[in-house]
Chain A
Amino acid sequence: EIVLTQSPGTLSLSPGERATLSCRATQSVTSNYLAWYQQKPGQAPRLLIYGASIRATGIPDRFSGSGSGTDFTLTISRLEPEDFAVYYCHQYISSPRTFGQGTKVEIK
């Protein structure tokens, strides 16, 4: 099983600042089958990034993904008020599919 570890657990930032979230895997996530989701309270997760770096339909370009192998990053270039949420990484190359434990981006 591929275990995903996200850091930091919580990120306290102000609107307009840059957010950098990390996701590290215990084994290589081949074919870059790594996705990022955003979840707001009381809502289902929403797909932001797949294939490590491809924005899903309708996702603003302030969201970007990078990385390969075992180290992946989600960057939000300038935080908007609606971006404060919890973010999860997810690998879908092997079964069982797994999620990271989440990073909460909160308003400082």
Chain B
Amino acid sequence: QVQLRESGPGLVKPSGTLSLTCGVSGGSISSNNWWNWVRQPPGKGLEWIGEIYHSGTTNYNPSLKTRVTMSVDKSKNYFSLRLSSVTAADTAVYYCATGIVGAPRLNYWGQGTLVTVSS
């Protein structure tokens, strides 16, 4: 069974760049899956950020597209999220999650990591 684990700084300064990684165990990053990022501001609902395939193909939420970059590291079996020019509105629990290509419901989720944007 695939297990996902987010890691990265819990505090980012305004106008800085949020960087997170999601380690994949129990499966290969090169499998036929979309690798997703989803976030949840405190007390609010879920927002899809985007997804990446191991080839590097990406789909981003248009609302964040100008600030988001996702990448894959096949040698280390993880994928990453970078979100630039952050503000307090980007404070959220960030989840990584995965679903199979062709029917990408999100079967597996990481436990989530809280990122706070504050000076």
Q: Which residues of A contact B (CB under 8 A)?
A: 1, 33, 35, 37, 43-47, 50-51, 56, 88, 90, 92, 95-102
Contact = CB atoms under 8 A, between A and B. Distances in A.
Interface in B58-89: 59-63
Contact of A51 (B47, B97, B103, B107): B103
B105 A101 contact: no
Contacts, number: 58
B106 A96 contact: no
Interface in B34-75: 36, 45-48, 50-51, 59-63
Contacts of B59: 95-96
A44 B105 contact: no
Interface string B94-113: 01010100011111011110
Interface residues of B, number: 24
A95 B60 CA distance: 8
Interface of B: 36, 45-48, 50-51, 59-63, 95, 97, 99, 103-107, 109-112
Contacts of A51: 103, 105
A54 B44 CA distance: 27
Contact of B106 (A90, A101, A102): A90
Contacts of B109: 44-46
A56 B107 contact: yes
Nearest to B111: A44
A99 B46 contact: yes
Contacts of A43: 111
Contact of A88 (B45, B63, B103, B111): B45
A99 to B, nearest CB: 4
